[in-house]
Amino acid sequence: MKAIKTCQTLGFTALASLAAASHASGQSADALINKLVQKGVLTEREGKDLLVETDTNLVSASKWRLSEAFKNITLFGDVRFRYEYRGADNAPKSGSTADDYYRERFRYAVRFGLRGELFDDFYYGIRLETSTNPRSPWVTFADDSSPTPSAKNSDGINIGQAYLGWKPSSWYEMTVGRMPNPLYVTPLMWDSDINPEGAAEKFKFTAGPVDFFANFGQFIYQDTNPDTSVPSSDTFILAWQVGGTVKLAKDVSLKIAPAVYNYTGVGKANGLNTPYVGEGLKGINVNNSTNFNQNGINDLLVLDVPGEVNFKVGKYGARVFGDFAYNFLGNDRARAAAVTAGPAVLSRAHTGEDKAYQIGAGFGNLGLVYGQTSKKHTWEARAYWQHIEQYSLDVNLIDSDFFEGRANLEGFYSALAYSFTDSIIGTVRYGYAHRINDQLGTGGNNLDLPILNPVNQYHLLQLDVTWRF
């Protein structure tokens, strides 16, 4: 009897292994069960029950079977929780420094997706995220229109990334879809939450100590429907970037990548097709009025030059980084704003307001502040000064946190991050900015503080806990 029990144990162990294998292994399991019945190890009744159980397990396992198109697959994303204070003063600089308008809130953001390689040199990525705002995945607790506590009508899941790429060689790749930004950029020019839609091509090669690269993007800015014109009047932003990384010494490298951005089409809605003015009426940001248009993309031909120097200080990583941008058509943008707004708002065109720049430094586990890396008991400190003049950049693209996605502001940003575990990061951020030109508004449209223009002084405090996976 003891021998029979041992055989039964071995038989069940073998069947459990087969049940977790492929469908073909199911046929092997059937044959093994039948053989055990013939040998008297199992009764016919036990054999039938085991066949049913094995088939059930195999069907359940088959639900998770990957298509043969997948070479590998990775689950990635993050879950973040935040306390935020965001305030603005729209009194004159010489007046009170108290915030006239502020928002204090608790928020959360979820991003999760799948990415990996396909066969024949293709790769893919899909990411879902909370919020419909292209410059923010954050959702505010209890801001629902329903009076019931913990309602969900402002919470939802949206497609943040959906792309397919092809990399036939080590020196070339292309991507189509809604993708992670393929360019080397800073928050001066691009909000890090924006995932541009369209196509991109990347080239790279090495010559001596320099790793050269070139990035090109054809991003759809606004689709026009119906569209009867030939060629199409759809609006595109075109990016042309070349750059390189050179190793200057042991643990010292320099990276720089100038880029030019130009626009095709003029848009058909949301103020894109009318001149950008960037003004407000007595502090109220009238975003839907032509005379105070915050969104126009006229007269933009921008040169952007981001760069960084990386080195070591003891065992820690260190980085000095910066960015400079110049709008070649900035004076035309200023003159168009003056004509549109009229003498009641602008007595003259404020030309020369066509530059933006950023300069800063990071120290520690570089990338931790932005959640790009995580290792237990590591930290990063980061700070920069930023200056954006009224007619220098596309205000629809710049970072919506620092500083409120507005032009004609300058100030500093600081952040400190600490990794409690290999996946849990705590981050403190603080920023302050003030208006550059008192004769102009602070152009831009942001859902966080939508009604104020101009913003004379701006404060932001964020306390984050991030689970990264």
Instruction: Give residue-wise pLDDT tens across range 364-408.
Output: 999 999 988 889 999 999 999 999 999 999 999 999 998 899 999
**55 and 185: one domain?**
no
What is the amino acid identity at position 167? Answer: K
Rg (CA), the chain: 29
Residue 425 inside a domain? The answer is: yes
Q: Is residue 271 scored above 70 in pLDDT?
A: yes
241 or 67: which leads in pLDDT: 241
**405 and 336: one domain?**
yes
Q: What is the pLDDT of residue 237?
A: 96
Q: What is the pLDDT of residue 178?
A: 98
Q: What is the pLDDT of residue 243?
A: 98
Residue 335 inside a domain? The answer is: yes
What is the amino acid identity at position 36? Answer: L
Q: Looking at 62, 86, 104, which one is the last position of a domain?
A: 62
Structural contact between residues 279 and 453, judged by C-beta atoms closer than 8 angstroms: yes
Q: What is the pLDDT of residue 117?
A: 95
**34 and 174: one domain?**
no
**106 and 142: one domain?**
yes
Residue 68 inside a domain? The answer is: no
**320 and 462: one domain?**
yes
pLDDT band with cut points at 50, 70 and 90 for residue 229: low
10-57 pLDDT, tens digit per residue, is 444 444 444 444 444 445 667 777 777 777 777 877 777 776 666 655
**208 and 339: one domain?**
yes
Q: Lowest mean pLDDT: which of 146-150, 363-367, 375-379, 446-450?
A: 146-150
**47 and 82: one domain?**
no
Grouping H, G, I as helix, E, B as strand and the rest as coil, residue 378 is coil
Grouping H, G, I as helix, E, B as strand and the rest as coil, residue 400 is coil
Q: Is residue 125 scored above 70 in pLDDT?
A: yes
Residue 67 inside a domain? The answer is: no
Q: What is the arithmetic mean of pLDDT over 119-145? A: 91
Structural contact between residues 413 and 384, judged by C-beta atoms closer than 8 angstroms: yes
Structural contact between residues 299 and 333, judged by C-beta atoms closer than 8 angstroms: yes
**341 and 279: one domain?**
yes
Residue 396 inside a domain? The answer is: yes
Structural contact between residues 213 and 257, judged by C-beta atoms closer than 8 angstroms: yes
Bridge-partner residues for 175, per DSSP?
A: 165, 200
**200 and 231: one domain?**
yes
Q: Is residue 466 scored above 90 in pLDDT?
A: yes
Tell me the C-alpha distance between 165 and 302, whole Å.
27
pLDDT band with cut points at 50, 70 and 90 for residue 287: confident
Q: What is the pLDDT of residue 28?
A: 62
247-277 exposure pattern, b = at least 16 Cβ within 10 A, e = fewer: eeeeeebbbbbebebebebebeebbbbbbbb
CATH number for position 211: 2.40.160.10
Residue 94 inside a domain? The answer is: yes
Structural contact between residues 452 and 90, judged by C-beta atoms closer than 8 angstroms: yes
Q: What is the arithmetic mean of pLDDT over 218-243? A: 83
Nearest to 50 by CA among 69, 70, 26: 26
Q: What is the arithmetic mean of pLDDT over 222-239? A: 77
Q: What is the pLDDT of residue 31?
A: 76
Does the CA dihedral 227-229-230-232 come out positive or negative?
negative
pLDDT band with cut points at 50, 70 and 90 for residue 309: very high
Q: What is the pLDDT of residue 20?
A: 43
pLDDT band with cut points at 50, 70 and 90 for residue 154: confident
Residue 78 inside a domain? The answer is: yes
Strand duo 259-264 + 301-313: pairing: antiparallel
Tell me the C-alpha distance between 179 and 134, whole Å.
12
Q: Looking at 62, 86, 102, which one is the last position of a domain?
A: 62
**322 and 289: one domain?**
yes
Q: What is the mean pLDDT of the chain?
A: 87
Q: Which two tokens stand for residue 425?
A: 């990061």
Q: Between the ranges 129-143, 226-240, 401-415, where is the mean pLDDT highest?
A: 401-415
27-66 exposure pattern, b = at least 16 Cβ within 10 A, e = fewer: eebbebbeebbeeebbeeeebeebbeebeebbeebeeeee
Q: What is the pLDDT of residue 40?
A: 72
Q: Is residue 344 scored above 80 in pLDDT?
A: no
Tell me the C-alpha distance between 215 and 243, whole Å.
9
Question: Containing domain of residue 22, as a range?
Answer: 2-62
Q: Lowest mean pLDDT: which of 14-23, 63-72, 95-104, 394-403?
A: 14-23
Tell me the C-alpha distance between 292 and 427, whole Å.
37
Structural contact between residues 351 and 334, judged by C-beta atoms closer than 8 angstroms: yes
Q: Using CB atoms within 10 Å of the CB of residue 469, give its burial: 0 to 12 exposed, 13 to 18 middle, 19+ buried.
A: exposed
**47 and 108: one domain?**
no
Structural contact between residues 191 and 359, judged by C-beta atoms closer than 8 angstroms: no
341 or 404: which leads in pLDDT: 404
Q: What is the arithmetic mean of pLDDT over 313-340? A: 95
**446 and 341: one domain?**
yes
Q: What is the pLDDT of residue 347?
A: 58
Grouping H, G, I as helix, E, B as strand and the rest as coil, residue 79 is strand
Q: What is the pLDDT of residue 5?
A: 46
Q: Is residue 93 scored above 90 in pLDDT?
A: no
Q: What is the pLDDT of residue 228?
A: 64
Around Cβ 75, how many Cβ atoms within 10 Å? Answer: 10
Q: Which two tokens stand for residue 126?
A: 């899909």
Structural contact between residues 384 and 321, judged by C-beta atoms closer than 8 angstroms: yes
Count of the separate structural domains present in the chain? 2
CA distances in angstroms from 5 to 12, 34, 35, listed in the order given: 10, 17, 16
Nearest to 219 by CA among 203, 241, 234, 204: 234
